[in-house]
Amino acid sequence: MPDGSIDTPTTTEYLGPEEDRFSGIKNPPEPKLKILTGNDAPWPGSSYVIGYQNTSKVLTFKDQGVILAEYEGKPTQRWACHARDGWLGFANDPGETTRWLGFDDINKTDPLLICWAPNINGSWETFCVMKRPEDGFLVFKRVDERLRPIGTGPDGSLSVRGNWYHWWGFTKIS
């Protein structure tokens, strides 16, 4: 460059127009992160892509549930962070059809991660997030007055687990 500055590549690429369900603006440019950093501490008022460990799989809203799917930059892969009574909550599709990340109350041993509650009703839709000394974060759920980590079961389902080796990466997108 003639002025001596360095041309640094950006971290987004334009994917074309799509409705932004977070801002309510119709047809904004849709950025797709090239790299999921995974080290942005979740904070109320911001939105995140939540990745699983060192994979390209992220939490994805699907049919009032949540699955791990390859990151594609879709609105169903963005989670708006909120706070309630000192705990964090995560919503997909903020607006009239908002659904909150939470747990079923059927399986008391290893409650499954779901996304169907229309609001934060209590402890089923709130989380504790703790930074690891390495990259990423542990995500915990209150179960019987204890904190238990969120991870994947033997069948790949997302649920409360009994061990601490499951971790998550939060990449801030807005």
CATH code for the domain of 121: 2.80.10.50
- Count of domains in the chain? 1
The angle subtended at Cα 111 by Cα 105 and Cα 115, nearest 5°, is 75
- Residue burial 23-44, b: 16+ Cβ < 10 Å; e: rest: eeeeeeebeeeeebebebebee
For residue 155, being part of any structural domain is answered with yes
In the numeric block, the tokens 């990340």 are attached to 101
For residue 149, being part of any structural domain is answered with yes
For residue 101, being part of any structural domain is answered with yes
For residue 4, being part of any structural domain is answered with no
Residuewise pLDDT in 10s, the chain (174 residues): 455 444 433 443 333 344 444 444 444 444 555 578 899 999 999 999 999 998 999 999 998 789 999 999 999 999 999 999 999 999 997 777 788 998 886 666 678 888 988 888 778 899 999 999 999 999 998 877 888 899 998 888 898 888 888 999 999 998
Global pTM reads 0.78
